[in-house]
Amino acid sequence: MITLNDISSLRETINQWRQQGFKIAFVPTMGNLHAGHIALITEAHKHADKVVASIFVNPMQFGQNEDIANYPRTLQADQQQLEAAKTDLLFTPTPEIVYPKGLDKQTFIEVPQVSEGYCGESRPGHFRGVATVVCKLFNLVQPDIACFGLKDYQQVQVIQTMVEDLSMPIDIIPVATVREASGLALSSRNGYLTEEELKIAPALSQNIQWLAEKIKQDTDFIGLAKQAANFINNAGLKTDYIHICHAKTLQPASEDDKNLVILAAAHCGKARLIDNLQVNL
């Protein structure tokens, strides 16, 4: 595996691969990798000749009350996992390389509607930071395809919409959420959970599953979501939100909608957990 941290070397390598006719897949990450990230690498190999990953803790997507300094950085262990997964190239730029003018003078990308509400409301500016850094990384790597985990369902919709609206020649491949045996979605933030919190954290996914069964029989989406939120809170978590939405637009679901997604987030100790489930009626 090649590891690069400067733009010129990255572009030179990508250009060589292009001249050889290779198809390129890309998996952007913030590091602290787990089996969910490796599933993205595995999927990427199915669609391309060369797989590029990036590790970049993006300061633009962290809010004022979110401590970027304490975000886990585990580069050596991450490199070992990526090498074992046969990743061809790892790009590890610094903030100074990605944002040479600083954040205040950086051009940014806004994706309307799908980035509003849910995590967009709980974390103001988050999806602006996500869209901007992904757009910039796409311009640097110029992949044919890119893989993103469906655990971050709203993020996937933001990126798909950005690619469509800006006519980027990139196929976005969503990859199913990888879970613990308990049902808890794998996340870098699970490392913040204590042993006791790990026991109650699966209540989020369990109540999403309960809600998915209920909405097949009852269209009182708002009332059912409130019940699920109460169940989550009674389990010892603190619900941030739980909503039943149209699967593509992320607008509140109507009785006539058939392709739905349940979006949910809850606090468990220091960790903010997110999860979702698509439901086809």
- Does position 64 have pLDDT exceeding 90, yes or no? no
Q: So what's the pLDDT on residue 70?
A: 83
pLDDT (mean) for 199-221: 96
First-to-last CA distance in the chain? Answer: 44
- Residues 246-262 have pLDDT tens digits of 999 999 999 899 999 99
Q: In which band, very low, low, confident or very high, does the pLDDT at 25 lie, cut at 50, 70 and 90?
A: very high
Give the mean pLDDT of the chain: 96
Pairing of strands 145-149, 2-4: unpaired
Q: In which band, very low, low, confident or very high, does the pLDDT at 36 lie, cut at 50, 70 and 90?
A: very high
- Does position 208 have pLDDT exceeding 80, yes or no? yes
- Residues 155-166 have pLDDT tens digits of 999 999 999 999
If you write DSSP's letter for every residue of 137-189 in order, what string do you get? HHHHH--SEEEEEGGGHHHHHHHHHHHHHTT---EEEEEPPPB-TTSPBP-GG
| pTM given for the model | 0.95
For residue 43, which phi and psi values (nearest 5 degrees)?
A: -65, -40
Tell me, yes or no, if 37 is annotated catalytic: yes
- Does position 67 have pLDDT exceeding 80, yes or no? no
> How many residues are given for the chain?
281
Going along the chain from its start, the domains and CATH numbers come out as: 2-175 (3.40.50.620), 188-276 (3.30.1300.10)
Q: So what's the pLDDT on residue 23?
A: 98
- Given 34, 37, 243, 267, which residue is catalytic? 37
